[in-house]
Structures are given as C-alpha cells and as structure tokens.
Structure 1
C-alpha cells in the first residue's frame, strides 16, 4: 500500500509539473503573439509615385537691372505682380526617405516695370522644367528642393519705344516646396522659387547693343493638383 501511495504521489507530481509547464508555455505564447501590422504605423511614401497635373496662382516679386538705353547709365526697376498657370510632373519613390521627381510649368504673368512713373516693360509669361528631390516628412506630406531652368518673355517696348524691344531669356531656378495629399488623388502645393535670367541685350531698331537687361524674380505659388 505504501508503494502504491508513493507511485500515486509521483504520478500526481508529474501531472502537476506538466500542467504548470503547459500553463507557462501558454502564458509565454499569449505574451509573444500580439504584433502590430497596421499600415497606420508605417510610412506610406509610396503614395507619391505616378503622374500629376494641376493649376496654380502666385505672387511674383520681380526686378530688372537695366544699363544704358533709355534708362541711362544704370537703373534698378522692380514690380510685384502675379501669375496664373498650370503644372504637371512625375515622381518615383527611391527609398523610404527619398522621392525623385520631374516637374514642368507654364504661366501667364502680370507685371509692370516703372521708369520715371511710366511703364517701361513687363514680364509677360514664363515656363520652367525642373528636378525635385523630396523627403516625406509625414505619410501625406512631401518636402522637396527644386533645381530647374526657367524661360521668361520680357517686353520692353513701352520704354524703348520700338515694337521689337522684346526678348526671351532663360536662367537657373532654385527653390523649395511642400506637397500634401488631401485625399488619395487631390494634392495641394506650396512653393517658393528664385530665378536669375542672366544679362541680355536689349533689341531696338535691329541694334542688339542698345542696352542690357538683367531680370530676376522671386515667386511664391500655391496650387491644387490631381495625382493619377
């Protein structure tokens, strides 16, 4: 009987140990199984991939450094106007922290340079092509730098007094911007750029050496686009 009782005690102890081990294993499993796989906790920079188009408006602070011609030895003329235009582009996500893009725009510009309280000329339109280097600062916000080339059409005929005193100039454009996805397809944009159009000969009566014009501008633009 004593041997039977000892065997029963041993079996009971083994069963208790197995039960305890199973419980510990279950507790460990319960503690390990929960994982976070929600997309809400991940950077969704991939949403920037693809084409987009949109419309924009801007405030344009422009100036031109004029030498000789009607203005005499040297004059700095300036104006604050506006522009309205369209833009389009394409972006590609390289890594979680790098988004590359190509962007183009065309704008109708309203400015007026004044010399002796009279209209001397204006920037009529501009167009640009640029590269963008972006970093997703939030799942739906992309901050980026801009490097591009901008062309502008300048008409100085009111000041020069001849119909052919207009020229197209080009120059490098630098800037910064931020785009925000309002929905999966609607994109809002805010940008600031600076362009220097170089030194250009002012045509007058067929004489390209009449004078020189060196325009530049600072543009702050806001736009709304559609991403495909």
Structure 2
C-alpha cells in the first residue's frame, strides 16, 4: 500500500512540477536589461511651430539733451506681446536635448516719463540655442542663450520720427510639456539687454527687458 502511495506521489510531481514552476516564473517581474529597449528616436526630436503671448517688463537708461534733465533717467513700463515661434530639437542622450529656437513678436509696451509716453518697443525677434534636461518623459526643462533684435520708437518724446533697431544678448529658462504626441505647451522667461545705442537726433538709449511667455506648439 505504501509503495502505491509513493508511486502516485512521484507521478503527481512529474506531471504538476513543470506547471507549478512555470506559474511561479510568471509571477516574478521580468528582468530589464539595457539591450531590451532601444528607441529609434526621441519623443523630443523634430520640428515644432507655435503661437505665444507674453508679459513684458521694460526699462531703459535714456540720455536726451534738452528733453531729459541729467542724470540719465530710468524709464519703465509693463506691457504685452503676441507672436509666433518655431524650432528644432535633437536628443543626444537620455539626459541632454539640444535645439535651436526662434521667435518674432508684435509688441504693445511703452516707456513713460512724468506720466507721458516717451517711446515704445514696436516689435522684437530672437534666435537662441537651447540645452534641455528631461525631468519626466513628457516634460523638458531647458536653458537658452541667444540674440534678440528690437525696433524702438522714441518719436513721442522727440516730436519727429525717431526710430532705431537695437540688438543684444538674451538669456533664459523654460519648461515645455508634451500634452499629446503632437501638442507642446510652453512657459519660459528671458532677460535681454540691447546695449547702448545712439539715437537719431542726439542722445543715447540703453533698453532692456524681462519677458514671461506662454504658448502652444504643434510638433511635426
């Protein structure tokens, strides 16, 4: 009788053993190695095109003989702008994303002196290089360095047409988020210094600004 029981137990183990082993293996999380997943392209790679709105804080050191009393006056105003931007990104590694970004904006802001309109920034444009770090699969934090151009109009203070284009270096920080596979939402801020410029008719102008932008882009 005992021999029969032993034979039955051996037979059961022979039949059920492989099934139990397979079941146990299926309950263990698979091991992931560096060779198992090799993406052919990054989610951030490619071109994008979008529209944005901005809040601008302006200031400028102005020298205008016969118009402003010495010393130079610091003039400031807060206004806004609307424009378009475009760019291209390429992911070098899991940690670095390089890119180039450009924008052009129609600006509505002005300088004021003694409560009067002294002049205005009419439009600006910029091109910049970007270096990004993916803080999440769909979120990219980045820094920018570039060059910006602005068209300034000081005609209200001079009484005659007084316009000039100034250029200067720009630094910035931002974050982009992929809302969907093709839609990118962005928020960034820049500081631009346009240098010291000779104003037609006499005097100098040294404008700078701080800009906060929010926009949406389509990724191709």
Which range, TM-score by smaller chain? 0.7 to 0.9
Number of the residue aligned with 2:170: 173
TM-score (norm: length of structure 1): 0.81
CA distance in 2, matches of 1:63, 1:36: 58
Q: Residue 57 of structure 2 is aligned with which of 61, 72, 75?
A: 61
Q: How does 1:1-228 map to 2 (within 5 A)?
A: 16=10, 19=13, 23=17, 30-32=23-25, 34-35=29-30, 46-69=42-65, 70-73=67-70, 74-163=72-161, 165-204=162-201, 210-228=202-220
CA distance in 2, matches of 1:144, 1:32: 43
CA distance in 2, matches of 1:117, 1:147: 35
**Runs of 4+ in structure 1 over 3 Å off:** 25-34
C-alpha deviation, 1:68, in angstroms: 3.5
| Runs of 5+ unmatched residues, structure 1 | 1-7, 205-209
C-alpha deviation, 1:158, in angstroms: 1.0
SS of equivalent residue, structure 1 residue 158: helix
Number of the residue aligned with 1:4: none
- For each residue in 1:91-112, what CA deviation from the matched residue of structure 2 results, as whole angstroms up to 9, or x when unmatched? 0011111111100000000011
CA distance in 1, matches of 2:188, 2:115: 32
Rate the CA distance shift 1:94–1:31 in 2: closer, same or farther, 3 A.
farther
C-alpha deviation, 1:28, in angstroms: 5.6
CA RMSD of aligned residues (A): 2.7
C-alpha deviation, 1:117, in angstroms: 2.0
CA distance in 2, matches of 1:102, 1:36: 38
Rate the CA distance shift 1:124–1:36 in 2: closer, same or farther, 3 A.
farther
TM-score (norm: length of structure 2): 0.84
C-alpha deviation, 1:114, in angstroms: 1.2
CA distance in 2, matches of 1:81, 1:213: 19
Larger-gyration structure (1/2): 1
CA distance in 2, matches of 1:72, 1:88: 43
- For each residue in 1:44-94, what CA deviation from the matched residue of structure 2 results, as whole angstroms up to 9, or x when unmatched? 992111000000001000111112432132111100000000000000011
SS of equivalent residue, structure 1 residue 184: coil
